Amino acid sequence: MAGSEPQIGLSPALSNALARWLEHERALSGAAENTIRAYQSDLLGFLAFMAVHHGGQEGLGPLSRISLSDMRAWMAQERGRGVGARSLARSLSAVKTFYRWVSEREGFEPTAVLSTRAPKFHKKLPRPLAEDAARAMIDSLDTQVSEAWIAARDMAVVTLLYGCGLRISEALGLTGSDVPLPQTLRIVGKGGKERIVPVIEPARMAVATYLRQSPHPLEPNGPLFRGARGGALSPRLIQKAMERARAGLGLPATATPHAMRHSFATHLLSAGGDLRSIQELLGHASLSTTQTYTAVDTARLMEVYDRTHPKA
């Protein structure tokens, strides 16, 4: 179990409480393993600071007496060592979630920690590609490598990102049992959340073309997309293929695999798609996450307005 070993500066009781909370988040909240590791890192850093700050081993007793000034001291240290506002807000959120959980079980008052305000930061808007740039990106992958099957593979992966709104991990998680691609795919996304995704005809055709050219046998439980030696395809190879393509097209560094997913959502919204449907297609747990695409659409509209109606 992650975090089950006693940590330096933490009492066995507190270390055990942290391990049980991480298991709770994994089992009941459905948090992904990357999220669990981030939680563990955030909490260990926070608790290690409090142990030094309080001048002794951090346990459940000292934890219950953390004050608002203690919280401010921790946040000041984090900012002082270069932690950005966004990262600090994420760490604070993990601390609050753990603190709420442990306070309910230990029966102490959590107000000082829970009332700590997160630092303000400007949310970064997604950076989608224009529709013609997204299509050009896919088409240009055909010229990036000498081996035709690898070019077909890269085009198939990126077509799935753009045409179905998949994360790269979701596309590379497809197996031989998923082909021939059906009209809809059941995708298991972050936190084990399932969603049904329509598969457009160009995506089915791109995958079929790749399979006809691939030199590696397709196995029901094996990866659909293979590397040159037959192993599971690394996300980094798709990232590199897009790096080469965007250099040739003169696109910015934001033209990444994840930008294709952003482009899928933004172009659907521009075409009249409603937010709830887009939320379901993307697998967002919160509608507020999907709503960032309305800001993107508005920003693009204002850019067009500024270009066509220049100020005197």
The catalytic residues are: 167, 190, 258, 261, 284, 293
Question: Could you tell me the two tokens for 67?
Answer: 């004050």
Say how far apart CA 203 and CA 166 lie, in whole Å.
12
Dihedral (Cα; 217, 221, 227, 229), 10-degree rounding: -60
Identify the pLDDT of residue 3.
Answer: 42
Assessment of whether the complete model's pTM goes beyond 0.85: no
Identify the pLDDT of residue 305.
Answer: 40
CB 110 within 8 A of CB 103: yes
Domains of the chain: 12-114 (1.10.150.130), 131-308 (1.10.443.10)
Identify the pLDDT of residue 74.
Answer: 93
Contacts of 289 (CB under 8 A, 6+ apart): 279
Identify the pLDDT of residue 299.
Answer: 46
Identify the pLDDT of residue 292.
Answer: 55
At residue 32, what are phi and psi to the nearest 5 degrees? -70, 160
* DSSP state string for 26-39: HHTS---HHHHHHH
Identify the pLDDT of residue 262.
Answer: 81
Identify the pLDDT of residue 8.
Answer: 54
10 Å Cβ neighbour count for 114? 14
List per-residue pLDDT tens for the chain, 312 residues long: 444 444 456 788 888 889 999 988 887 766 678 888 888 999 999 988 988 888 776 677 888 888 999 999 999 999 899 888 888 888 999 999 999 999 998 888 888 889 998 887 655 555 778 888 889 999 999 887 889 999 999 999 999 998 888 889 999 999 999 999 998 888 887 767 788 888 889 999 999 999 999 999 999 999 999 999 999 999 999 999 999 999 999 988 888 898 888 888 777 776 666 556 666 666 555 544 444 545 444 444 444 445 444 554
Identify the pLDDT of residue 312.
Answer: 44
Identify the pLDDT of residue 7.
Answer: 47
